[in-house]
Amino acid sequence: MRDKFVSLFAFSLAFAAIPAAAQEKLTVYTYDSFTSSWGPGPAIEKAFEAECGCELEFVAVADGVALLNRLKLEGAGTQADIVLGLDTNLTYEAKETGLFAPHGISLDKVDVPGGWDDDTFVPFDYGYFAFVYDSEAIDTPPASLKELVEGDPEEKIVIQDPRTSTPGLGLLLWVKAVYGDEAAQAWEKLSQRILTVTPGWSEAYGLFTNGEASMVLSYTTSPAYHEIAEDSDRYKAASFEEGHYLQVEVAAATVKGADNPLTPRFLEFMTGPGFQDVIPETNWMFPAGETSGPLNPVFDTLVQPAQTLEFSSEEVARNRQEWVNEWLGVMSR
């Protein structure tokens, strides 16, 4: 009897030891371009592991939308401590799931346009949507969204479908933010300039660099890639008077991850130089926290939006379906 008790005791001790060891590991779900060999993942993993003496594991899922779906599917049983790579259009919906926990860290180092104040989500980078044009095909790019909408229908643009793509949804919101109730009429006009609407960013950008269209919906940071990685200043972003729509990418702790002491440590680390230094030239977005030095000067030459356009996450969640349907109605005429 006593033997049995002892072995039971030893057994439960051994069992208890396993979760203790597992605490030395942090699992982060993110999108796949983040973990690719040219993405920020590898450098960040190295930097954080050196600092914490623990193991950081990235698990890649296709993109931000897939990331949230994945978490909804796995529910409370998820292996993720942190989900990294949602954007502000998804945060309301994400919070509603009840699967995320408050971050509990100081946001002093966080720096995004319009400021940041959220108890669950912590930003790690941001960017602005913009139309990127081929300077060999266009001399005077449109100076405003209005000029784009009313410009020469012979000069074609490529955009993405808001039903399947994040930039596509971004443009939809951009037009809505500028035109409000007259968005439908604007789309009707703009549709004459649209060569085609692709399912994702890759297809659209591929068509653009192949010369099919002289303008494409992308980010203000796209020209930085071409300048730094390819040493080419052929592709530039057009600056729009009305301002540019903002995309902020965020991370958050899951309810499961809230128990892991490494979770707040990583979120804290995320807002500092060990993480932020890598972002500009791997993720091609602006850092949302402290960097150890100034960015590559090329980033200073990029379009600086006169105004930041943004809907709250809740507004997007409530209206997305209706706005997409409005877009569909106009575009499928």
Partner 1 sequence: MSRPDRRVIAGVAGLGAVGILIGGAFAGLLGEAVNDWSGAVSAFDTYMLRVTRFTLWQAALSTLLSVVPALLVARALARHPHFAGRALILRLFALPLALPAIVAALGILALLGRAGLFADVLTAVTGTRWQGIYGLSGILVAHVFFNLPLATRLFLHALETVPTDQRRLAAQLGMGARASFRFVEWPVLRAALPGVAGLVFMLCVTSFTIVLTLGGGPRATTLEVAIYQALRFDFDPARAVALTGAQIVLTAIVVALLMRLGANMAGDANLPVASRAPAVAGRAERILNSTVMLVALLFVAGPLAAIVISGLQADLARLAADPAVHAATATSLVLALLAGLLCVLLSLSLTMARRAMELKRPRNAAPSLLERMLDTGAGFVLVVPPIVVGAGWFMLLRQTGQVFAIAPVMVVTVNAVMAMPFAIRALRPAYDAASARHEKLCASLGISGINRFRLVDWPSIRRPLCTALAFAMALSLGDLGVIALFGSDAVQTLPYLLLARMGSYRTADAAGLALFLGIICLMLMMLVDRTRSRT
Q: Which is nearer to partner 1, 69 or 304 (CB)?
A: 69
Does residue 76 touch partner 1 according to CB under 8 A? no
Does residue 203 touch partner 1 according to CB under 8 A? yes
* Distance (Å, whole) CA 36 – CA 65: 18
Q: Which is nearer to partner 1, 193 or 244 (CB)?
A: 193
Least distance to partner 1, CB of residue 241, Å: 27
Q: At which residue do the structure tokens 């804290």 appear?
A: 268
Are 324 and 163 contacting, i.e. CB atoms less than 8 angstroms apart? yes
Binding-site member from 21, 210, 231, 297 for partner 1 (CB under 8 A): 210
Choose among 106, 78, 118: nearest CA to 313. 118
* Distance (Å, whole) CA 330 – CA 65: 25
Binding-site member from 23, 69, 185, 307 for partner 1 (CB under 8 A): 69
Query: Count of residues binding partner 1 (CB under 8 A)?
Result: 58
* Residue 279: CB atoms within 10 Å: 24
The tally of CA atoms less than 13 A away on the side-chain side of residue 268 is 10
Binding-site member from 284, 286, 299, 323 for partner 1 (CB under 8 A): 284
Site for partner 1 in 95-154 (CB under 8 A): 154
Binding-site member from 43, 52, 54, 66 for partner 1 (CB under 8 A): 66
Are 126 and 248 contacting, i.e. CB atoms less than 8 angstroms apart? yes
Are 98 and 247 contacting, i.e. CB atoms less than 8 angstroms apart? no
Least distance to partner 1, CB of residue 75, Å: 8
Angle at 166 between CA 140 and CA 87, to 5 degrees: 115
The stretch among 5-13, 106-114, 296-304, 322-330 that binds partner 1 (CB under 8 A) is 322-330
Site for partner 1 in 32-61 (CB under 8 A): 32-33, 35-39, 59-61
The H or E element that residue 65 is part of is: helix 64-74
Choose among 313, 326, 283, 316: nearest CA to 84. 283
Least distance to partner 1, CB of residue 104, Å: 27
Choose among 41, 45, 48, 99: nearest CA to 70. 99
The stretch among 3-11, 110-118, 208-216, 303-311 that binds partner 1 (CB under 8 A) is 208-216
Q: Which is nearer to partner 1, 104 or 211 (CB)?
A: 211
Least distance to partner 1, CB of residue 274, Å: 22
Q: At which residue do the structure tokens 């979770």 appear?
A: 263
Binding-site member from 45, 51, 55, 74 for partner 1 (CB under 8 A): 74
Least distance to partner 1, CB of residue 238, Å: 18
The residue count for the chain: 333
Are 80 and 29 contacting, i.e. CB atoms less than 8 angstroms apart? yes
* Distance (Å, whole) CA 261 – CA 25: 10
Binding-site member from 73, 180, 181, 293 for partner 1 (CB under 8 A): 73
Residue ranges that bind partner 1, judged by CB under 8 A: 32-33, 35-39, 59-62, 65-66, 69-70, 72-75, 77, 79, 154, 156, 161, 163-164, 191, 194-203, 205-207, 209-213, 222, 225-226, 229, 284, 321, 325, 327-329, 331-333
